[in-house]
Structure 1
Amino acid sequence: MCVNCIRNEVDITEGIPKQVTLHFCRNCERYLQPPQIWVKAELESRELLALCLKKLKGLGKVRLVDAGFIWTEPHSRRVRVKLTIQKEVFANTILQQIFEVEYVVSYQQCEECTRLAAQNTWKAIVQVRQKVEHKRTFLYLEQLILKHNAYKDTTNIKEVRDGIDFYYGQRGHAVKMLEFLSAVVPIKYKTSEQLISTDIHSGSSNYKFTYSVELSPVCKDDIVCLPRKLAHSLGNITQLVIVTRVGNSLHVLDPNSLQTADISSNVYWRVPFTSLASMKNMIEYYVLDVEPLGPVRGKNVLADVHVARMSDFGRNDTAFIARSHLGGLLNPGDSVMGYDLSRSNFNDDNFNALNQNELTDVILVRKAYPNRRKKTKQRSWKLQQLGKEEEEMLPRKQDQARIENDLELFMRDLEEDPEMRSTINIFKNQVVQENKDISMDDEEEDFEEEDFPEVSLEEMLDEMNLQDGEPDEEFVDEDVMM
């Protein structure tokens, strides 16, 4: 028989379907690769062509020579592929044939999108809580999560009154968030699980996992009274110390001797303690005189500082002498924030066990910039925020005012602490910079506090969509300040 007659008599495409169905999820734009794998593939891509060839039954009985797409309208829900195959039909006779296969795109929702579309179908939740009166810790933790893209696997983020809830579709993603939190703050957590359903035939069960995370209630600039045994184990440091930094460990400082110590997360939760006073208990003092004493450790300079309460200044002659680590920053006429122990009453067993006659009346913590704060101009930088969902009960007016005040205090912390700014991303406020018009009066006012550590232009980033960036593969274990 001639070639034409053989081609008329024999059809080597027999057994290969000419129309096949492709299942496509419109939400995540992935195709189903049987049995349960969903793959990402663009139109007319090599990945889509490989998926189409795998869907053809009987293709293994012939030899595939060539395959390619035939252009179709993208919205037609049709994918056409031209195939060239060969097969031996008679002895030493190989027949080649070209034919087309049409793939019909059928919409089908994948399991992940189905769980997201349904209500209360999360697999794991991480509930982060902290027992403090302010939100500064969570504001800073939010910036760390944004910088390291630790929120990428969340299905929902909900802000509640005492913290934040992170919802996940897989348990492994929640465990990864726990690892990130333990790398940046001292935490402890408890795990609980709830049985949702059980398949008696396969013996498999479906659970929901809840991770209750508690952050350390100790924050930056707090004063704490360490337990006696813990203070002895830390190089015999004084029990009454200032918390200078909070990361995966607590960094404390004795303002009388400049001695420092690090308290790891495991040590803290083995011998927990709370703060005697926090930032909201600090009052403003006026610096009368500074007497340097000589010892210098890093940026800390030991000095005797003569101060008076700003509320008493000009009314009486009450003054205090406080030994402080701020000798290198303070000058006569400056303002400084500190704790007034002479008027404080602490309900703490460790503090009550101290010799009260040996305690100082004032503990100075940080320099203040009151003249700078009088300026009402808008900041030239801003921070990005997570897309959080608020709890059902709307906050009251006083709660909203407290949240705004905590945000302002956090922004001031960033302005006054360059080391803290270096751990997060700060973005340019384009609206303010475009309309920036500094008058001569503002320039003269800037000279009043020349040492104010203002955010420089080099520290600001151009605003971008963090969703477009590549996620960090590994979280950086670094110290953070809260």
Structure 2
Amino acid sequence: MAAAMEMFHVQHTQGHVLCCLCGTSIPPNPSNMCVACIRTQVDITESIQKQVTVLFCKECERWLQPPKNWTRAKLESKELLTFCIKRVRNLNKVKLIDAGFIWTEPHSKRLKLKLTIQKEVFNGAILQQTFVVEFVVEDHMCDSCSRAAANPDQWIAKVQLRQKVDHKRTFFFLEQLILKHGADSNTINIKQIHDGVDFYYSNRSHALKFVDFLNSVVPIKQRADKQLVSHDSHSMTYNYRFTFSVEIVPVCKDDLILLPQKVANALGNVGPLVVCTRVSNTVQLLDPLTLRLVYQDANQYWRAPYRPLIVSKQLVEYVVLDIEPVAGGHSATGGSGKERYALADATVARTSDFGKNDVIFQCRTHLGHLLQAGDLALGYDCYAANTNADSELEKFKGFQLPDVVLIKKSYEEKRRKRRGRGRAWKLRQLPMEVEATTKDDDKARVDYERFLEELEEDPEMRAKVALYKDPTYVARPRDEDTMTETDGEEPPQVPLEELLDELTLEEHADEDEEMEG
């Protein structure tokens, strides 16, 4: 009997009821109605706003958070999603389950938000519903942009950026850093003058923020001044204009430097003849004879400033006749795993003398990993250059300047054949007022072309800027290229995978017209 009771199991099944409206068999619920009938009787989104108007300032790319707060948010970002959800009325009366953007055309002035909500209806029954809220974007200039547009000269703070060198490659590189990091967002006007660039701001804190950005990317020295504009003796209110003078260290990439004895000793007895290989927030110096790398920040430089011995515009082209690596002469590898530098003994001759005389030079170079016999290289002709460094050399007993210091491999002959074809990439530029003569314009074009070549040659430098695909570029057929070029190594070029797509409203509008047609 007991065994029979153990084998007996009671099986429970859930009962079903009929919907009170349509008669469909459903599991029992407090309303005794199916989901379809509940939705016909109740709309939980009825009290929620379905269309919202938001204000957007095109000048500073900010959104108005009523009553007077302007917030910055990119399209389809978490910040913009939070901003849009807060603008929907009566959304706090329901439970928000999910939210996300629905893609719209960038020029349509519409943002669509897909929301999923839950709400209790009919004696505890919970209903879930998904709906779309449309946000109409209207252009409206904020107060600061309105004042700047009405009179650009109404500035409160100005940053005067200067560098005492004879080229503008540093400013071209700095322009790309500013654009990539959005450091120009609060700038109301930019003016380019013969020896630098001036940035104007409507707020002193914005200028200070920009100076901090400059200090993080280039070695600088700064000084702050203020000028009284007006004051009210009754309310004791004073209005000032602030000027921040910023000077960049006058040492650039590829400059040849003879360090003062005091500086050389402070850097661990390096050199004293060094080459500047990179300038970021510190100056990177390389001893081309020993491959020692040292770094010098702005404070160290300005405590004992110096000028380059020879600058890059004095580079001379040489033909490498022979090169032999030095055993064990290797430095640390670069970011790509390749050798950064390698010592070698080279035999070179000036390209201008090649075939005219038998003047050759023996030199030690740090480019043993790049150069081969027959290559062209750019270097400094210390044998014939007037350096006026005798007084400084006397402090270093037993040290003499080498006849030649090679700086980098030359691709000028290859580039000369490729000129006129253009590049598959381009750079953005800051909207600035330019005050220059025709002579300065020609020199600036040469400096800009040299800057573009540096980007092609240096991957580490290229990684710090944003390069965009040029839609106007037309690639030449491969057979045409092979007919016009000689055999040999091609000059460095930017890989296509490093280029970004630059989206414009005009491009989207043209695509829509084609689709409609």
**What band does the TM-score fall into relative to the shorter chain?**
0.7 to 0.9
Equivalent residue number for residue 438 of structure 1: 477
Equivalent residue number for residue 413 of structure 2: 371
| RMSD, aligned α-carbons | 3.0
Equivalent residue number for residue 455 of structure 1: 494
Alpha-carbon distance in structure 1 between the residues aligned to 2:273 and 2:56: 61
- Judge conservation of contact 2:187–2:200 (CA < 8 Å) in 1: yes
Equivalent residue number for residue 380 of structure 1: 424
How far apart are residue 383 of structure 1 and its match? 0.9
Q: Does 1:408 align with 2:469?
A: no
Residues 169 and 449 of structure 1: is their aligned pair in 2 closer, same or farther, counting only changes over 3 Å? Answer: farther
How far apart are residue 356 of structure 1 and its match? 7.9
1:423-434 equivalences in 2 (<5 Å): 423-432=464-473
Selected match of 1:248 from 281, 284, 287: 281
- Secondary structure of 1:288's counterpart equals strand
How far apart are residue 109 of structure 1 and its match? 8.6
How far apart are residue 116 of structure 1 and its match? 4.4
Q: Does 1:213 align with 2:246?
A: yes
Alpha-carbon distance in structure 2 between the residues aligned to 1:395 and 1:330: 40
Deviations 1:161-185 (A, max 9, x none): 1111100011111001111101111
Selected match of 2:216 from 180, 183, 204: 183
- Secondary structure of 1:266's counterpart equals helix
Equivalent residue number for residue 402 of structure 2: 360
Q: Does 1:126 align with 2:170?
A: no
Q: Does 1:323 align with 2:360?
A: no
- Secondary structure of 2:309's counterpart equals strand
Residues 257 and 211 of structure 1: is their aligned pair in 2 closer, same or farther, counting only changes over 3 Å? Answer: same
Deviations 1:89-139 (A, max 9, x none): xxxxxxxxxxxxxxxxxx999466235413521010001011111010000
Alpha-carbon distance in structure 1 between the residues aligned to 2:393 and 2:88: 70
Equivalent residue number for residue 8 of structure 2: none
Equivalent residue number for residue 459 of structure 2: 418
Equivalent residue number for residue 50 of structure 2: none
- Judge conservation of contact 2:284–2:296 (CA < 8 Å) in 1: yes
Alpha-carbon distance in structure 2 between the residues aligned to 1:39 and 1:183: 27
Alpha-carbon distance in structure 1 between the residues aligned to 2:316 and 2:330: 26
- Judge conservation of contact 2:147–2:154 (CA < 8 Å) in 1: no
Alpha-carbon distance in structure 2 between the residues aligned to 1:369 and 1:27: 44
Residues 195 and 302 of structure 1: is their aligned pair in 2 closer, same or farther, counting only changes over 3 Å? Answer: same
Deviations 1:393-434 (A, max 9, x none): x412x22211111011111111111111111111111111xx
How far apart are residue 354 of structure 1 and its match? 4.4
Equivalent residue number for residue 298 of structure 2: 265
Q: Does 1:194 align with 2:222?
A: no
Q: Could you tell me which amino acid in structure 1 is paired with residue 495 of structure 2? A: S
- Judge conservation of contact 1:287–1:335 (CA < 8 Å) in 2: yes
Equivalent residue number for residue 338 of structure 1: 379
Q: Could you tell me which amino acid in structure 2 is paired with residue 169 of structure 1? A: S
Residues 32 and 382 of structure 1: is their aligned pair in 2 closer, same or farther, counting only changes over 3 Å? Answer: closer
- Judge conservation of contact 1:339–1:362 (CA < 8 Å) in 2: yes
TM-score normalised by L of structure 2:
0.68
- Judge conservation of contact 2:148–2:188 (CA < 8 Å) in 1: no
How far apart are residue 378 of structure 1 and its match? 1.1
Alpha-carbon distance in structure 1 between the residues aligned to 2:183 and 2:270: 37
Q: Does 1:286 align with 2:327?
A: no
Alpha-carbon distance in structure 1 between the residues aligned to 2:216 and 2:345: 37
Structure 2: runs of 5+ lacking an equivalent: 1-54, 72-83, 91-139, 334-339, 506-517
How far apart are residue 350 of structure 1 and its match? 2.9
Equivalent residue number for residue 104 of structure 1: none
Deviations 1:155-204 (A, max 9, x none): 01111111111000111110011111011111001111011111223322
The structure showing larger relative contact order (alpha-carbon pairs under 8 Å, at least 6 residues apart) is: 1
Equivalent residue number for residue 330 of structure 2: 296
TM-score normalised by L of structure 1:
0.73
How far apart are residue 444 of structure 1 and its match? 6.0
Residues 438 and 222 of structure 1: is their aligned pair in 2 closer, same or farther, counting only changes over 3 Å? Answer: same
Q: Could you tell me which amino acid in structure 1 is paired with residue 247 of structure 2? A: E
Alpha-carbon distance in structure 2 between the residues aligned to 1:407 and 1:415: 13
Alpha-carbon distance in structure 2 between the residues aligned to 1:436 and 1:451: 16
- Judge conservation of contact 2:189–2:199 (CA < 8 Å) in 1: yes
Q: Does 1:114 align with 2:151?
A: no
- Secondary structure of 1:419's counterpart equals helix
Deviates more, 1:266-275 or 1:110-119: 110-119
How far apart are residue 448 of structure 1 and its match? 3.1
Equivalent residue number for residue 139 of structure 1: 172
- Judge conservation of contact 1:181–1:187 (CA < 8 Å) in 2: yes
- Judge conservation of contact 1:27–1:109 (CA < 8 Å) in 2: no
Equivalent residue number for residue 103 of structure 2: none
Q: Does 1:228 align with 2:261?
A: yes
- Judge conservation of contact 1:184–1:248 (CA < 8 Å) in 2: yes
Selected match of 2:433 from 389, 393, 403: 389
- Identity, % of aligned positions: 42
Deviations 1:300-341 (A, max 9, x none): 110001000000000111000110000010001000000000
